[in-house]
Amino acid sequence: MTRATRYDPKRFRALTWFDATAAFADGSDSPRNYLERCLEAVDALEPVVQAFAALNRETARAAADASTTRWKDGKPLSPIDGMPVGIKDLLETKDMPTQLGCAAMTGNFPKNDNAAVWALRQAGAVIFGKTVTAELGGNHPGPTTNPFDPSRTPGGSSSGSAAAVAAGFMPAAIGSQVGGSIIRPAAYCGNFALKPSQGGIHRGERQATSMSTHGPHAGSIEDMWQVAIEVASRCGGDPGRAGIQGPMTTPTAAKPDRLILLETDGWARTDADSHAAMDELLESLRSRGVQILRRGDHPLIESLEQALVGAGDLANTITAWENRWTLRNLIDNRGDGVSERIKARVGVVEALSPDDYRQLLWRRENLRAAWRMLAPLADAFFTFSCPGPAPLWPGDVPGQPLAPRPTGDAVFNTPSSLAGAPAVTIPMLAVNGLPVGVQVMGQEGDDARMTAFARWIHLNIDPVAVG
Amino acid sequence: MTRATRYDPKRFRALTWFDATAAFADGSDSPRNYLERCLEAVDALEPVVQAFAALNRETARAAADASTTRWKDGKPLSPIDGMPVGIKDLLETKDMPTQLGCAAMTGNFPKNDNAAVWALRQAGAVIFGKTVTAELGGNHPGPTTNPFDPSRTPGGSSSGSAAAVAAGFMPAAIGSQVGGSIIRPAAYCGNFALKPSQGGIHRGERQATSMSTHGPHAGSIEDMWQVAIEVASRCGGDPGRAGIQGPMTTPTAAKPDRLILLETDGWARTDADSHAAMDELLESLRSRGVQILRRGDHPLIESLEQALVGAGDLANTITAWENRWTLRNLIDNRGDGVSERIKARVGVVEALSPDDYRQLLWRRENLRAAWRMLAPLADAFFTFSCPGPAPLWPGDVPGQPLAPRPTGDAVFNTPSSLAGAPAVTIPMLAVNGLPVGVQVMGQEGDDARMTAFARWIHLNIDPVAVG
């Protein structure tokens, strides 16, 4: 059983929380009832979707009951008090194991709460389950399937978070992105998601790399923002960073006057149907008075496009270098439980020197300079969130070379990761019955502003279905 | 038995490595023999000094034998091939436990190498032992005593690294500093030490805080620099940072033309004898043509001094906030093994909000701005490394309030920590028969430059003994 045979953005109704809480105060509904409906969806769909690495029904029910009492008493801890939230299985949770999608980490159960998990509990959220991650946040996939077609990937590495929201298991889930791990799976699964500015949400124990972030997937932009701000207002940003700030309710929809359309290396890798859908969307934006600027329109846009050539390799190599000791230790100690994909990556990066790494950082600085200098020219960057719908994933074939991108292509995601920039993906396109997201990206610190633009686009522009 | 009843900087001879290796090639000495001499010193003095949290004689001997062969073959891996190096027990080592000076971490043995430890092994160094740290790098002391007076603290939190070098157990050891944990213990123990620029040496698994660094203690400035550059040239800086760069041998001594004498909150807390010694040292510097600028001489120096008022509280609160989830998880899980000092600190910081933290970051930015703006005015900042000699430490008295600073006062160390600036401490003073260090501090990235100035001062200015 799957949720839908074809995704139709005009008819698809994601699970939402923000419009459910009014009934909690008058007792016509409750967080416990809400949770039970989620569990019913899990019972029906999880055998195919396989979004969970761990699920703790009884602690979730106890937390939902406590929340029910608070709402009845008129004293919810926050607007997300009682919200069932999934946690990507890279982040530590004190009441469930943290196994990082990696066989070598089987049974790992540090009984700690990541800073964001701590903040969610402080806000009253129900920590519902651990959602499947691709191995160690890389691209070696777990068992999760795409809720709109089980023969396809849900994307990665936040595979379970994206699929759980799309399957209606929960209104929001925490993902994380180093290269493309929040925005891409969300886009393949028809979710909203925020990849925060670098440092926007405290990463707790996960500080190892210079461009990873934690951020929410959600069925609505309201829930997406509410989760982000409830977390950030409690645990703040990364060490040394101010972190996400902004209104304590969803930012008011704001019309962008000018958007810079970024092609990146992804433009040429995107199928004709998706391009046709994007063309129609851009036309629709123009008809509402939004000016679309692109590489021919301004030399600095061209400069940024050129700085973005090879962005995927650049991002992957920087991160692989930063993870090399962690991965080397893991391989040396428990190599049997580490995939060949990870081993191959470590082998490549161990040939690099600190001077090679410094060169990569300098390329990233170059790119950031062009990104920043374009701030005055337009309100935001705009492009696909993924190069077409989620690809088929039949699994690796024993004896054959490993498939290069089993969780899809992060080509449209590495630019904002490299820039340290906030990105919001919006489910605006359907291509051959599958979701394809589009994203707005801003300058560091523009998280609330990008949410406001995304909200305007979603409210004012009709989604486009092609194929 | 202790190393010396009185410290005399003119007569004290620290253990050195750089001048020992010539004999390794011709076979008149060897890394194995060097190690055995170190082990003899350990056998004689360790019962009182108590510098080690773990010591692995057999793996050290095997590593020294391998190095002996490489030197004989004329193929040492680096100038520090065979050097016995101690590792502060906060950093993971694959062949010894990592217990962080904390009862709650007893038996912790992750069998991983920290990035700096990995780099040291690549350079051929002998990982000799884990050196005692104050609990979790804070100020709750371990058992280590000051090699020049066992009734006094060796300083902290790099207590064991500082004492082991001073006791002649090893020519160099790795320490770490968040507030004052490299420079202060080194100064109390008569060592040279480098607190690198923030991000200067990859911290491996220890990325939790925005102003901690790993750096070497050594008996000579040559060994101090060599360890720093051998490590940094292999593992580089922290994620996103260029890290320490510079010559692959000790920077040439460079005369500073102008030094800014920083008083900080420490000036008023320093005893008269130490001030007398400093006055004599400053006179000696002036007599060699070094101009000393201070707060009355330039308004921006006064601005920096004012920005440094309360620097200790500022640094401690920033770090405590950044560590709050880690510490809260530890206390919740294994509270019996955590000191009351740590618990009290977490209690205070848990009352702070992300907005409070943002205010602290803004104060730090203010201070950094003044620090940077003074760069053109002089070659370096200069001051005490500690407010007088190591204080007596008789231990906490049951039933009495906890002593506030059992490992001494970091008042002269938090400025460079907050500024993210490199600092080199030089053993230039003896006060009442105990070492007192002075330090040069520069701008971020000035690690080699500060080493060059420190080397000039040590070569050209006589040490001063008072009392």
Render pLDDT for B341-376 as a digit per residue (tens, 0 to 9). 999 999 889 999 999 999 999 999 999 999 999 999
B420 CB within 8 Å of a chain A CB: no
Residue of A nearest to B211 (CA): A240
Is B365 domain-assigned? no
Question: What pLDDT, on the 0 to 100 scale, is given for residue A287?
Answer: 98
Domain CATH code at residue A2: 3.90.1300.10
Q: What is the C-alpha R_g of chain A? A: 21
Is A305 domain-assigned? no
Residue of A nearest to B325 (CA): A115
Q: Which residues of B touch A326 (CB under 8 A)?
A: 112, 205
B122 CB within 8 Å of a chain A CB: no
Strand partners, B216: B174
A210 CB within 8 Å of a chain B CB: yes
B335 CB within 8 Å of a chain A CB: no
With a threshold of 0.90, does the pTM exceed it? yes
CB-CB under 8 Å, B211 with A207: no
For A95, the token pair is 């009441």
B111 CB within 8 Å of a chain A CB: yes
Mean local confidence (pLDDT), A388-397: 95
Render pLDDT for A372-384 as a digit per residue (tens, 0 to 9). 999 999 999 999 9
Is the pLDDT at B1 greater than 50? The verdict is: no
Is A22 domain-assigned? yes
Closest to B442 measured CA to CA, from B288, B251, B297, B289: B251
Q: How far apart are the first and last CA of chain B?
A: 23
Is B328 domain-assigned? no
Is the pLDDT at A5 greater than 70? The verdict is: no
A354 contacts A237 by C-beta, under 8 angstroms: no
The 3-state DSSP class for residue A251 equals: coil
Is A257 domain-assigned? yes
Shortest distance, CA A442 to any CA of chain B (angstroms): 21
A329 CB within 8 Å of a chain B CB: yes
Closest to A425 measured CA to CA, from A411, A405, A441: A441
Residue A9, CB half-sphere, CA atoms under 13 Å: how many? 29
Smallest Cβ–Cβ distance between B233 and the set A205, A332, A354 belongs to A354
Domain of residue B2, residue span: 1-298+382-467
ipTM of this complex prediction, to 2 decimal places: 0.90
Render pLDDT for B237-260 as a digit per residue (tens, 0 to 9). 999 999 999 999 999 999 999 999
B56 contacts B129 by C-beta, under 8 angstroms: yes
Q: Which residues of A touch B331 (CB under 8 A)?
A: none
For B286, the token pair is 């002036």
Question: What pLDDT, on the 0 to 100 scale, is given for residue B5?
Answer: 66
Q: What number of C-beta contacts closer than 8 Å exist between A and B?
A: 85
pLDDT grade for A2, boundaries at 50, 70 and 90? very low
Mean local confidence (pLDDT), A281-296: 98
Q: Could you give the C-alpha distances from B223 to B21, B122, B217, B219, B402, in angstroms and in order?
A: 12, 17, 9, 7, 37
Report the alpha-carbon angle B113-B324-A122, nearest 5: 125
Residue type at position B258: R
- Tokens 């016509």 sit on residue: A28
Smallest Cβ–Cβ distance between B325 and the set A115, A209, A326 belongs to A115
Smallest Cβ–Cβ distance between B208 and the set A207, A211, A236 belongs to A207
CB-CB under 8 Å, A325 with B354: no
Residue of B nearest to A324 (CA): B115
Q: Which residues of A touch B111 (CB under 8 A)?
A: 329, 333
Question: What pLDDT, on the 0 to 100 scale, is given for residue A126?
Answer: 98
Q: Which residues of A touch B204 (CB under 8 A)?
A: 325
Per the structure, the count of domains in chain A is 1
Is B32 domain-assigned? yes
Question: What pLDDT, on the 0 to 100 scale, is given for residue A327?
Answer: 94
Render pLDDT for B262-276 as a digit per residue (tens, 0 to 9). 999 999 999 999 999
Render pLDDT for B47-81 as a digit per residue (tens, 0 to 9). 999 999 999 999 999 999 999 999 999 999 999 99
Scan residues 177-206 of B and list those with Cβ closer than 8 Å to A: 202, 204-205
User: Which of A93, A325, A367 to mutate: most B Cβ within 10 Å?
Assistant: A325
Residue of A nearest to B113 (CA): A329
Q: Which residues of B touch A240 (CB under 8 A)?
A: 210-211, 361
Residues whose CB falls within 8 Å of the CB of residue B249, separated by 6 or more in sequence, listed in order: B79, B225, B226
Is B180 domain-assigned? yes
Is B150 domain-assigned? yes
Where b means 16+ CB within 10 Å and e means fewer, B91-122 reads bbbbbbbbbbbbebbeeeeeebbbbbbbbbbb
Closest to B33 measured CA to CA, from B87, B71, B4, B78: B71
Task: Label the pairing between strands A192-195 and A423-431.
Answer: antiparallel
CB-CB under 8 Å, A322 with B118: no
Smallest Cβ–Cβ distance between B208 and the set A239, A333, A357 belongs to A239
Share of chain A above pLDDT 70, in %: 99
CB-CB under 8 Å, B328 with A235: no
B219 contacts B192 by C-beta, under 8 angstroms: yes
